[in-house]
Amino acid sequence: MYAKCGAITTARKLFDLMNDRHVTTWNAMIDGYGTHGYGTEAIKLFEEMEAVISSQTI
């Protein structure tokens, strides 16, 4: 909700506090970055998500 409303910094702080992130949470944060002009951050977070999810499935 914070990312959707443009409060990207708050959204990221809350995201970072989460212990267990579902793919929906990752997608919401990535979408928030992309929607509000933070393309580089969106790509970095996507790459981080790939690494985390890959390490969890091994």
Q: Which of 23, 22, 31 is nearest to 3 (CA)?
A: 31
- Residue 21 placed within a domain: yes
pLDDT at 58: 57
Contact 45, 28 (CB under 8 A): no
CA distances from 18 to 14, 15, 37 (A): 7, 5, 24
- Residue 37 placed within a domain: yes
pTM of the entire structure?
Answer: 0.86
Specify the number of domains making up the chain.
1
- Residue 29 placed within a domain: yes
- Residue 3 placed within a domain: no
For residue 49, what are the domain limits?
8-57
Residue type, 1: M
In tens, the pLDDT along 1-47 reads: 788 888 999 999 999 999 989 899 999 999 999 999 999 999 999 99
Using DSSP, state whether 33 is helix, strand or coil.
Answer: helix
